[in-house]
Chains A and B, each alone.
Chain A
């Protein structure tokens, strides 16, 4: 069981959360000229790191806020969590 510290509610069990994927992926800026490759990279391609991974989680059965988690994909250890607008 993962225990995830929601930046708003504190430590809660994994059951209350849902996963949102790699948080380091940046959506291309809408006003800019965007190539097919940039869209493709954004939608499908991932670094898929083994080790410290920045990811999005959603406290779906709690405060319903999205936030960021720094977690090891190898040991499942959670190092840090932060609000979505903060740097991890």
Chain B
């Protein structure tokens, strides 16, 4: 594989950038693989990469029904954080933050990791108490957390509404300084390029149409490009998980919902951090191009359509305008939707299943992007070792029947009653 560096950039400039190697090949599927990963999104690509790198399993196919970077990995608001209270989430996402910090070097691909800090605004004394509790839990787990006063926040985000006539005045906030953003499609491309260079076959426009299971063991998959034999299948298909599970006669604690995001026209630097509204569900950051990147609530009804509806967008942006009144002067550039695999407790599932050789990675709700590296890392471990790593052992499929829910915010699919 060609290494990306300043020297390779200069060298290729002499040939007008016509001779760069392709970042990943476009192979036809082989008859048999050791592992088949269904879903070529961030999580699937990362899983294949860590299977090859950490577990030396390289005879892998990634089957993607669309194209690399076309699903949720290219539809999120690019936020990275590990500001969780429960141990299961905190330790898991914090391991992910450590992977993010080194990811550009590791992948030899600039993922534009930007630890600009994430600020959760508090709008009452009670909310500040809750944030202090969460901040303390984070620090006990070795995660950075800082309580901010109203005056400190005013210096950091002067354009927020600090008037006392605001419907939700700003009382203070909780900040994770190492939280931030990364360029989402670079993450997909970086993982794809490295996985490909280690021998992983990335097969695009290849839809899985069925599974071959005999005596409770995985035998292979049926696809739009023919049958493929394999003993191990990893499902990383986000909002489509229930559809594939149905082919295996499995029902899951998942509903698929559409979540919208949007960007404004680009403006000069205005917001240095990622900021979340504490009196509703709205978050925003400014991209390097200057666009305000914004998101918030689900549309609120089951959906497999990758587009949303205006009432939700209006609701979300009215929260944005309550927080930053001058956002009302911006024009919207684009809006889009992605299909979230909403689990019933709001936390993910990374686990084995009752079928030998079938592994499940789903239930990412709003937060799949930041988990990309650690989800891939732990899922690769689970597939290779046939047991969960201690980082993901609490993300069990059966926790809904045993009562070990990970109810971080008490929200699942019914976020409107959370």
Contacts and interface: CB of A to CB of B under 8 A. Distances in A.
Interface of A: 1-2, 13-15, 18-19, 21-22, 36-37, 40-41, 43-50, 53, 55, 71, 73-76
Interface string B397-417: 000110000000000011010
B302 A74 contact: no
B414 A21 contact: yes
Interface stretch (B193-201, B250-258, B259-267, B324-332): B250-258
A74 B311 contact: no
B253 A22 contact: no
25 contacts: A1-B309, A19-B300, A21-B302, A21-B413, A22-B255, A37-B401, A43-B344, A45-B251, A45-B252, A45-B253, A46-B242, A46-B252, A47-B242, A47-B251, A48-B252, A48-B254, A48-B255, A48-B302, A50-B256, A50-B304, A53-B302, A73-B256, A73-B301, A73-B303, A76-B303
A55 B256 CA distance: 14
Nearest to B242: A48
Contacts of B156: none
Contacts of B242: 46-49
Closest 6 CB pairs of A and B: A48-B242, A44-B253, A44-B400, A40-B401, A50-B304, A19-B301
Contacts of B311: 1, 13-15
Q: Give the size range of B's interface with the partner.
A: 20 to 34
Contacts of A44: 253, 344, 400
Of A1, A18, A40, A73, chain B has the most CB atoms within 10 Å of the CB of: A73
Nearest to A14: B311
B310 interface: yes
B69 to A, nearest CB: 22
Contacts of A21: 255, 302, 413-414
B344 A50 contact: no
Contacts of B13: none
